[in-house]
Each structure stands twice: as C-alpha cells, then as structure tokens.
Amino acid sequence: MNAVLPSLHREPFVGGRFVPAMGGGVEALVDPWTGRPLTEVALAGPVEVEAAIRMARHAFDAGDWPHLPPVDRGAVLHRIAAGITARQDKFAQIEAVNAGKPISGALREVEGAIRVFTYYAGAMDKVFGDTIPLGRDLLDFTLREPLGVVAQIVPWNFPLLGASWKLAPALAAGCAAVLKPAPLTPLTALLLAEVCREAGVPDGFLSVLPGGADVGRRLAEDPRIDGISFTGSTAVGSEVMRLASASIKRVALELGGKNAALVFADADMEKAAASAVASGFGNAGQSCSARSRLLVERGALEPFARAFAAAAAKLKTGKALDPATNLGPLISASHRDAVDRTVAQAREAGADLVSGGVMPEGDGFFYPPTILSGVGPDNPAFSREIFGPVCSLTPFDSEAEAIALANDSDYGLNGSVWCRDIGRALRVARAMRTGMVAVNGLPSASKTSVFAPFGGYKRSGIGRELGLQALDFYCEIKNVVVDLT
C-alpha cells in the first residue's frame, strides 16, 4: 500500500489536468483501520471551482462531445471501463485504506464501477425520441439533448461507486461534469479522473474537486451550472435544493434511508437472517440502503433474533487487505462516537441489547454489529438513520400493522418483504412507500444494480440513478413540430 499512495494525484483535477491547489487548504486523511495518518490532499478553493465551471461551460457550449454520435462517446466509456479494470487492485487497495473497507468489499465496488461505465457505454445509442401523431399536415417529434454542465456531489461511504454512478450517465449523455468527492475520501475519484483523461474525455468536460461544504455550496449556487446531482444526507440535500432554486437548476437527490425488512412467520428464517446481516452490517452499516429496521411477526421474533445474532457473530474483523475480513471500521472516530451515543439513547428509551453495543478497545474506529430488541416507533433507533452497524427488532401482529410500521418513516428508500405467500408478498411490496422493494432477498449486486432504477420516495430523494432512468436527469427533451403544408 505504501508503494501505491505516493504515485497518486492528491490535488484537484481541473478541466483535464491536475493543478496545484491555491487557497482550499489541506485535508489530512486518516486510515480508519488504524486511526493513523494516511496522506494529505490539497482541496479545491474558489480559484479551482471558478476555473472548473468556466472550462466546463466553454467546453459544453463550444465542444464536439455533446454532438458526437452516442456510439463514439460510448467508445470512450468502454475505454474508461478498461482503464479501471487495468488498475482494479490499485483502486480497491486505496478504497480499503481510505474509506475503511475490507478488500473483498472494495474489489466488488470496483467491479461495480466497471459495470456501470460498460452499461452506459452501450446505453445512449438505444435511447430514442418519440414521434407524436398530429395528423397529415404536421410532423411532431422529440429530441433528447444533453442537459449541459452538471455538478455532482458524493459522500464518503461509496467513493468510487458513487462517483461512477453519476459520471457514467453524464458523460454518456454528452454533458460536462464537475464532480466533488467528499473531503475524507477523494483518492479514488482523482484516480478515476486520470483514467478518464487517458480514455479520451476531452478537456473541460471533467473536473474533480476534492473539497467540503464550501465547494458544494458554490456548485449548487452557480448559475452557469444546469443541473446538480447530490448524494448525501437529507439535511444537506435540502440546502442544496434551496441554493439551486435561485437559478432554477435541475436537482436530483439521493438522500438518507431508514429501511425496513418485513419478516413474516412463514419466511425462510435462515435466508432472511443472512440477508439482514449483509444489508444491515455490510459496509459497517454505512449505507443508505441498509435495512436496519427488522419488523418481525411476533411468533417468529425469537427464532429470527437467534438466527440473526448467530449470523452476525460470524462476521470477521481483521486487517484491511485480508480477503477473509468482512467487517471494517467506521469512517472516523467522531462518527463512531455518534453511533455509540445513539445506541445509548436507544437503550435509555427502553431497547434491550441482543448483541454488540460495546465499543472495543484499541486502534481503529471499529464498532461491533449491534442488535437491539424491544424497539418501538418512539425509540430513536426506529426513526434515526444511524449509519453504523446497528439494527433493531420490532414485533408486529398483522399484515396491516407491518405495513403501517414500515411506512412510519420520513424516509422511503427501500424495503424488503420475507414470506412464502406470494399474494401477501406482492400486496406488501405495493403498499410500501419506498422507491425499491426486494421480495425474499436481494440477488447479488451484479444482477440488479446498474440495470434497474435506484432512488427513493419521500425524504429519501428526488429522481433515479442507474438504469435508463438515470439518463432522464442528464437529458433535455426538445419537441420539434413541422408544418408540412
């Protein structure tokens, strides 16, 4: 790893080249596995933000990229996928130590990034406009045109994947992108910029600006930017929307979640428990998709809790680069403290510990997989997005109560239902106010993500990423009507 870090760019990528940053300050990155310093990154300041926006605007307004046949932009995206593939281990190792991910998970995320560039490489030439029947004398048709200059803001929990989900459809559609990674995890986004340049993304069409809230606010406000796609917390999403409103920017928001899994008594308990562990404790629970509320039919509560705790006990914490490790640390000491405080508050409000809940001694920002029982709707563990390895158990007595509990949330990202009665499963799936529902499990990410739309109802966001639906954000629709007389 020490050999990889010095070879990395640790300064902003502005319109096609890495530049020594002026005035944005420096972020000292910490390895969450050890708590020790990792490296330093120069953050973008007002000068780099201004240059990136100016270059993107000029590139989009004067450049060829938006007007190329989509298949030609697709060829560049294929080369980006190949460039990531060629550096798969490097990307995964950096992500592992910068974002606190076990190497096995980091490698899966790199594969996900490759898949997303490959998908959009072949997507844009299959998205057509419409012809609208208006009679013999008129011809009416629609054109899909690139939206323009887009800003993209991503959080620290899936740094490369989050950047790829946004960048691939934007570039495929012909937009110019200014991407802001989270200040704690900018390294893989900067390496991705290098790959994009080598693959042939023309100058001006991509900037990557490591930076914090000040950079994000400038991007949200700037009238030269046509759209902003934000992933992060609901509170910041709301601020981004407000800042973007002055210039009537198009806004896409992928925000928080407090997702429920509904386990009925006839479910396959082992499978439901294994999925609860993968979903609730994967990425140490730092996932908007984590299904941290386990709603269980009362008669099945005991056997499910036993199976869940037994499956969680098999998680293995160890070294970042050990392929057998499958539970990493939290991103920072302060975040771990916040998780621990919420667990304490949940217990004060009446929750019991089934497992975990005690902060370990030693280096690194580890927190054990924690299961709380007796969690009612008034408990903070039921309503608050904890963003750590903490799941709660809540019993229900009827299908109607299960649905009411599941929907008792400001969020609406995803949910799952576990039962063998297919009629009930589909009734519940339809009744859940979430953007995504899994019935009896979630197949491996390789079968679902990329191809299907991802996003939430209610305060989980606006718009969809992935699938062909993501292209709706990055395209304008123009209607052309021709008088044939």
Type and span of the H or E element at 138: strand 138-146
Question: Least CB distance from residue 155 to ligand NAD, whole Å?
Answer: 3
**Is 473 near ligand NAD (CB under 6 A)?**
no
DSSP state at residue 6: G
- Give the one residue of 151, 153, 161, 442 binding ligand NAD; rule: CB under 6 A: 153
- How far is the C-alpha of 308 from the C-alpha of 380, rounded, in Å? 21
Of 124-132, 211-219, 393-401, 414-422, the segment contacting ligand NAD by CB under 6 A is: 211-219
**Is 365 near ligand NAD (CB under 6 A)?**
no
Cβ proximity to ligand NAD: between 180 and 293 the closer is: 180
Question: Least CB distance from residue 161 to ligand NAD, whole Å?
Answer: 9
Task: Give 423-441 as a DSSP string.
Answer: HHHHHHHHH--SSEEEES-
Query: For residues 419 and 264, is the Cβ–Cβ distance under 8 A?
Result: yes
**Is 256 near ligand NAD (CB under 6 A)?**
yes
- How far is the C-alpha of 367 from the C-alpha of 390, rounded, in Å? 9
Burial 85-95 (b: 16+ CB within 10 A, else e): bebeebbbbbb
Cβ proximity to ligand NAD: between 241 and 265 the closer is: 241
Cβ proximity to ligand NAD: between 232 and 374 the closer is: 232
Give the residue among 381, 392, 411 at the shortest CA–CA distance from 263: 392
Question: Least CB distance from residue 319 to ligand NAD, whole Å?
Answer: 25
Of 29-37, 137-145, 232-240, 348-356, the segment contacting ligand NAD by CB under 6 A is: 232-240
Q: Which residue is nearest to ligand NAD (CB)?
A: 216
Query: For residues 153 and 252, is the Cβ–Cβ distance under 8 A?
Result: no
Cβ proximity to ligand NAD: between 183 and 329 the closer is: 183
The active-site residue, picked from 11, 27, 48, 254, is 254
- How far is the C-alpha of 42 from the C-alpha of 65, rounded, in Å? 29
Cβ proximity to ligand NAD: between 177 and 425 the closer is: 177
* 137 phi and psi angles, rounded to 5 deg: -95, -5
- How far is the C-alpha of 206 from the C-alpha of 65, rounded, in Å? 12
**Interacting residues toward ligand NAD by CB under 6 A:** 153-157, 180, 182-183, 212-213, 216-217, 220, 231-233, 236, 239-240, 254-257, 288, 385, 387, 413, 460-461
- Residues with catalytic function: 254
